[in-house]
Amino acid sequence: MKNILKLEELAMFVFCVYVLTLFHVSWWVYLLILIAPDISFVGYAAGNKVGAFCYNFFHHKGVAIAIFLTGFVLKNEWLQVIGIILFGHSSMDRSLGYGLKLNEGFKYTHLGVLGK
Protein backbone atom coordinates (compact mmCIF):
# COMPACT_ATOMS: atom_id res chain seq x y z
CA MET A 1 0.00 0.00 0.00
CA LYS A 2 2.85 2.38 0.80
CA ASN A 3 4.17 2.14 -2.78
CA ILE A 4 0.73 2.88 -4.20
CA LEU A 5 0.57 6.07 -2.12
CA LYS A 6 4.05 7.05 -3.29
CA LEU A 7 3.02 6.54 -6.91
CA GLU A 8 -0.10 8.61 -6.32
CA GLU A 9 2.01 11.46 -4.93
CA LEU A 10 4.43 11.15 -7.85
CA ALA A 11 1.49 11.39 -10.27
CA MET A 12 0.33 14.59 -8.54
CA PHE A 13 3.85 16.02 -8.86
CA VAL A 14 4.00 15.19 -12.58
CA PHE A 15 0.54 16.72 -13.04
CA CYS A 16 1.72 19.95 -11.38
CA VAL A 17 4.71 20.12 -13.71
CA TYR A 18 2.34 19.63 -16.65
CA VAL A 19 0.01 22.38 -15.42
CA LEU A 20 2.98 24.74 -15.18
CA THR A 21 3.60 24.13 -18.88
CA LEU A 22 0.01 25.22 -19.53
CA PHE A 23 0.81 28.46 -17.71
CA HIS A 24 3.87 28.92 -19.98
CA VAL A 25 6.17 29.58 -17.05
CA SER A 26 9.91 30.04 -17.51
CA TRP A 27 12.32 27.17 -16.94
CA TRP A 28 13.63 28.66 -13.69
CA VAL A 29 10.18 28.31 -12.14
CA TYR A 30 10.60 24.55 -12.34
CA LEU A 31 13.69 24.88 -10.15
CA LEU A 32 11.51 26.55 -7.52
CA ILE A 33 9.56 23.31 -7.27
CA LEU A 34 12.70 21.59 -6.07
CA ILE A 35 14.06 24.15 -3.61
CA ALA A 36 11.82 27.09 -2.65
CA PRO A 37 9.54 25.44 -0.06
CA ASP A 38 12.55 23.93 1.70
CA ILE A 39 13.66 27.39 2.79
CA SER A 40 11.21 26.71 5.63
CA PHE A 41 13.99 24.59 7.22
CA VAL A 42 15.29 27.86 8.65
CA GLY A 43 12.55 27.58 11.27
CA TYR A 44 14.46 24.72 12.89
CA ALA A 45 17.04 27.28 14.06
CA ALA A 46 14.40 28.35 16.60
CA GLY A 47 13.75 24.78 17.77
CA ASN A 48 11.83 21.69 16.75
CA LYS A 49 8.36 23.09 17.42
CA VAL A 50 8.88 26.28 15.37
CA GLY A 51 10.74 24.31 12.69
CA ALA A 52 7.92 21.78 12.37
CA PHE A 53 5.35 24.59 12.13
CA CYS A 54 7.30 26.45 9.42
CA TYR A 55 8.00 23.28 7.45
CA ASN A 56 4.42 22.05 7.70
CA PHE A 57 2.96 25.41 6.69
CA PHE A 58 4.92 25.47 3.42
CA HIS A 59 4.35 21.75 2.77
CA HIS A 60 0.64 21.55 3.58
CA LYS A 61 -1.44 20.86 0.49
CA GLY A 62 -4.39 22.78 1.95
CA VAL A 63 -2.25 25.93 2.09
CA ALA A 64 -1.16 25.34 -1.51
CA ILE A 65 -4.77 24.96 -2.65
CA ALA A 66 -5.83 28.08 -0.71
CA ILE A 67 -3.08 30.12 -2.40
CA PHE A 68 -4.03 28.77 -5.82
CA LEU A 69 -7.73 29.52 -5.27
CA THR A 70 -6.94 33.01 -4.01
CA GLY A 71 -5.02 33.61 -7.22
CA PHE A 72 -7.88 32.20 -9.24
CA VAL A 73 -10.46 34.45 -7.58
CA LEU A 74 -8.22 37.52 -7.83
CA LYS A 75 -7.18 36.57 -11.38
CA ASN A 76 -3.55 36.67 -10.23
CA GLU A 77 -1.57 34.15 -12.26
CA TRP A 78 1.50 34.32 -10.01
CA LEU A 79 -0.47 33.28 -6.93
CA GLN A 80 -1.84 30.39 -8.94
CA VAL A 81 1.68 29.37 -10.00
CA ILE A 82 2.91 29.62 -6.39
CA GLY A 83 0.05 27.38 -5.28
CA ILE A 84 0.92 24.84 -7.98
CA ILE A 85 4.59 24.93 -6.98
CA LEU A 86 3.80 24.36 -3.29
CA PHE A 87 1.39 21.54 -4.12
CA GLY A 88 3.84 19.91 -6.54
CA HIS A 89 6.74 20.18 -4.13
CA SER A 90 4.71 18.64 -1.31
CA SER A 91 3.71 15.77 -3.60
CA MET A 92 7.31 15.27 -4.67
CA ASP A 93 8.48 15.17 -1.05
CA ARG A 94 5.80 12.69 -0.05
CA SER A 95 6.61 10.46 -3.00
CA LEU A 96 10.15 10.32 -1.58
CA GLY A 97 8.89 9.50 1.92
CA TYR A 98 9.14 12.97 3.49
CA GLY A 99 5.99 13.80 5.38
CA LEU A 100 4.72 16.62 7.54
CA LYS A 101 6.96 17.04 10.57
CA LEU A 102 6.15 16.22 14.17
CA ASN A 103 7.41 18.36 17.06
CA GLU A 104 9.90 15.68 18.18
CA GLY A 105 12.40 16.61 15.46
CA PHE A 106 12.99 16.77 11.72
CA LYS A 107 13.19 13.03 11.16
CA TYR A 108 9.77 12.38 12.75
CA THR A 109 6.98 12.70 10.17
CA HIS A 110 3.35 11.73 9.74
CA LEU A 111 4.60 9.03 7.35
CA GLY A 112 6.98 7.55 9.93
CA VAL A 113 10.55 8.08 11.03
CA LEU A 114 12.97 9.07 8.25
CA GLY A 115 15.81 6.65 7.68
CA LYS A 116 14.01 3.63 9.09
List the domain range (segments joined by +) for residue 85. Answer: 2-113
pLDDT value of position 115: 79
CB 62 within 8 A of CB 100: no
**For residue 36, what pLDDT is reported?**
85
How many distinct structural domains can be found in the chain? 1
Is the pLDDT at 25 greater than 70, yes or no?
yes
Q: What is the mean pLDDT of residues 87-99?
A: 93
pLDDT of residue 27: 85
> Quick one: which H or E segment has residue 38?
none
On whether the CB atoms of residues 99 and 108 are closer than 8 A, the answer is no
> Is residue 33 pLDDT above 80, yes or no?
no
In this predicted structure, what is the pLDDT of residue 1? Answer: 60
